Every structure is written in C-alpha cells, then in structure tokens.
C-alpha cells in the first residue's frame, strides 16, 4: 500500500501547542519534504558515490577497502557529494530550530500563561536547586538552541514548545504520529505481543522531555501511576501542561535519572525512548544501575533506541548510522552505540538470561484511535529483574 506523505497539518495540536500562521506552516512543510528527501533519494546517493568513487580511490591507495566506520568517515570527508549532503542536513536542523524559535518567541508569554493549569489532574515537581549534569551543559543537542534545559525567562516553556511542534514532528517527517508517541506505542505493542500478562502498576519514563512517550503508558494501563522524569524544567512545564490539556493524569518530575529520590524496589516498569544516546557512557552505567535499584523483583527495564554498531558488518552502514555523532551535535550517539548494554546491565545486577536485545516494529499512530505498523523498527533493550 502506498504510504501517505505527512504534512504539518497532521501535527497533533493540543491546548499548549504554539499557534502557527500560513507561512510558518508552509515552511514546516518545506522542511518535512527536505528531511524526507535527505533521508531517501539524496541519502541513498551517498552509497552510490562511496562505491563508485570514494572506495575505489581508497583501495587504490591502501590496497584494501576501509575496515571500519572511522576509516569510511575520513575517506568521504573531502568528497563534494558528502560535503553537500552534510551541509544541507546540518542546515536543515539549524534552520528548523531557528524558524521554530521565532514562532515560539512571538507567543511565549501566552504559552507561559497557558502552561499554568487551573486544577491539574497530574503533578509537576520542579527543583529550583537542580544541577544540570556536566555532560549535558556544553552542547546544544542536535542544534537545538539551549538544548532541553535552558531558561531565559521566568516559568519558561520555550524549549518544550520548540521540541514539540517544529522539532520532533518535522524532523521525523511525521513518522512518529501526530502526537509523536510512536515510540511508546511500539513498546506497548511489543509488550502485548511478547508478555501479554505484564501489567505494571508504577511506571517511570526516564528522559521524558515533553511526555510524548509518557502519556501512552497511562492509556495502556489506566490504573498505573505514571511518572515522567527529566532534567529540563522548561520541557517539564510544557509536558505537564500538554498532559493536562490532553486530560492525562501523570506526574512530571525534575530529577537526574542517574540517581533519583525513589525507594529501592518501588517500580514495576522503568523505561525510556530515544534517551540513552543523549547521555554519557558514565551516565548510561549509572542510569542502568539506578533502574535496577528502583525496580521491584519481577519488574522490567526497557530502553528503546537504534541498534548497536556491532549488529552491522558493513562499515559504510555503520558510518551512515554514526553521522550524527560527528556532525549533528550528538556527541554521545557513537559512544553509546558502541556499548554492550547487556554487559552493563549484568554489572548492575541483572542476570544475562533475563536480558533481551531485539528489533520491534515501529507502530505509527495514524490518528489517535487508529494505530498501524509504520515503516521502520526500533532496537529494544529489555532486562527483567528476577
């Protein structure tokens, strides 16, 4: 069946999402097309150029093909096609966030007002003395100005608004669904298929940002207490207001996932979506150890990511998958995808036999009541505490 091409009109609006005018929508549509093009035809062209031009030159010089992604990266560095593609891809992110920040800035006061719900169903816990982890502070993650935590005014929500409307939806060309919750619905689908009796009562979503992939857990298990945790106050304020406007009773809390305030053995399910790759190696060790500590016996830790490099024999495929590390202000992407998460989990107390690493289909929500399998798949890293 032919895939329908998403446009910005498909973005799932809610009570706190920034309003946009015609020209802003047109720009978002252009950016979605650009991301699609860079990811499909133009992206695939890199393989042709590598095989037809770069690799033969490398073989001529070294008497062998590049042996790993690092050699591929150095070999393509000066090739005009790779330079052109890379510049466009970086400019796409920088332009997206620049345009988006204009949209958010012009209505920031209104958004801040709207983010103060009258009688909330859920909770927002902020910590005015919170210290941003050192490894986060120096980077504008994937060129998002100020990353997820910078505040420039009282009760700031700008980072949340930027990531929600323009950021995630446009960058992923709508592939995660109108509400950007395709990650969580993929996890729920995976669990229902593989562990139909799993019925968690207390759930922690680590690195939740604006709660895109936190709210679906309340939808799947309405009696559960669901908590979204992040380091960034502006994304959490936005997450809370977004959840309220969508009628969802969850708690958002400002804490470091490496060492939380929760008791030992107090959660049934500790999870994350697209989170570990934005933390340092040391943080990944701490986050997995903390997950083990706060899980009840019988509980599950599950992280959703892209697969580790070692799953791919082809150095060029590894290079493509590593591009963001060196060009997209994602410094932890490569180191994290080089890690053996199972070994880290075993160090933390999990048993090897209780760890599963496999691919799960991407469930793309097409509209809020109609979920279908979409293009793509996720790497699931799951560990049961037994």
Interacting residues with ligand SAM (CB under 6 A): 133, 136, 148-149, 183, 206-209, 212-213, 229-232, 235, 256-258, 273-275, 278-279, 283
Please identify, using beta-carbon distances, which residue of 75 and 233 lies nearer to ligand SAM: 233
Q: Radius of gyration over alpha carbons of the chain, in Å?
A: 21
Please identify, using beta-carbon distances, which residue of 20 and 209 lies nearer to ligand SAM: 209
Collapse the DSSP code of 381 into the 3-class scheme (helix H, G, I; strand E, B; otherwise coil) and give the result.
strand
Query: Closest-CB residue for ligand SAM?
Result: 207
The CA angle 365-337-258, to the nearest 5 degrees, is: 85
Q: In degrees rounded to 5, what are phi and psi of residue 323?
A: -55, -40
- CB 321, min distance to ligand SAM, A: 16
- CB 209, min distance to ligand SAM, A: 4
- CB 182, min distance to ligand SAM, A: 9
Please identify, using beta-carbon distances, which residue of 166 and 207 lies nearer to ligand SAM: 207
- CB 21, min distance to ligand SAM, A: 26
Please identify, using beta-carbon distances, which residue of 50 and 221 lies nearer to ligand SAM: 221
E strand segments, 201-241: 202-206, 225-230
Q: In degrees rounded to 5, what are phi and psi of residue 205?
A: -105, 110
Please identify, using beta-carbon distances, which residue of 76 and 241 lies nearer to ligand SAM: 241
DSSP per residue, 86-108: HHHHHHHHHHHHHHHHHHHHTTH
Q: Are 211 and 250 in contact (CB under 8 A)?
A: yes
Please identify, using beta-carbon distances, which residue of 12 and 232 lies nearer to ligand SAM: 232
Q: Are 236 and 170 in contact (CB under 8 A)?
A: no
Smallest Cα–Cα separation from 89: which of 326, 347, 359, 341?
326
């Amino acid at each position: 069946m032919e895939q329908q091409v998403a446009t910005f009109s498909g973005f799932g609006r809610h009570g706190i999402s920034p309003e946009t005018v015609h020209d802003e929508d047109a720009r978002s549509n252009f950016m979605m097309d650009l991301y699609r093009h860079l990811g499909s035809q133009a992206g695939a062209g890199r393989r042709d150029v590598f095989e037809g031009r770069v690799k033969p030159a490398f073989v001529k010089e070294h008497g062998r093909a590049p042996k790993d992604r690092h050699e591929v990266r150095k070999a393509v560095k000066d090739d005009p096609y790779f330079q052109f593609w890379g510049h466009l891809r970086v400019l796409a992110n920088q332009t997206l966030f620049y345009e988006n920040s204009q949209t958010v800035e012009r209505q920031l006061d209104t958004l801040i007002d709207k983010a103060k719900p009258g009688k909330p169903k859920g909770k927002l816990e902020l910590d005015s003395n919170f210290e941003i982890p050192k490894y986060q502070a120096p980077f504008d993650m994937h060129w998002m100005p100020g990353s997820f935590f910078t505040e420039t005014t009282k009760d700031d929500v700008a980072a949340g608004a930027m990531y929600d409307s323009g950021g995630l939806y446009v960058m992923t060309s709508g592939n995660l669904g109108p509400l950007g919750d395709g990650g969580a619905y993929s996890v729920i689908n995976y669990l229902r298929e593989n562990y139909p009796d799993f019925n968690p009562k207390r759930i922690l979503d680590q690195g939740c940002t604006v709660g895109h992939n936190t709210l679906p857990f309340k939808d799947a298990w309405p009696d559960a207490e669901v908590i979204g945790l992040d380091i960034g106050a502006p994304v959490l304020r936005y997450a809370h207001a977004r959840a309220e406007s969508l009628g969802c009773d969850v708690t958002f809390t400002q804490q470091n996932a490496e060492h939380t305030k929760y008791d030992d053995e107090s959660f049934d399910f500790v999870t994350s979506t697209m989170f570990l790759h934005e933390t340092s190696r040391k943080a990944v060790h701490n986050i997995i150890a903390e997950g083990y500590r706060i899980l009840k016996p019988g509980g599950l830790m599950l992280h959703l990511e892209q697969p580790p490099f070692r799953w791919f024999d082809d150095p060029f495929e590894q290079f493509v998958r590593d591009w963001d590390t060196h060009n997209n202000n994602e410094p932890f992407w490569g180191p994290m995808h080089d890690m053996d998460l199972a070994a880290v989990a075993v160090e933390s107390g999990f048993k090897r036999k209780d760890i599963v690493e496999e691919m799960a289909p991407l469930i793309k929500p097409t509209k809020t009541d109609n979920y279908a399998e979409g293009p793509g798949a996720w790497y699931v890293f799951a560990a049961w505490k037994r």
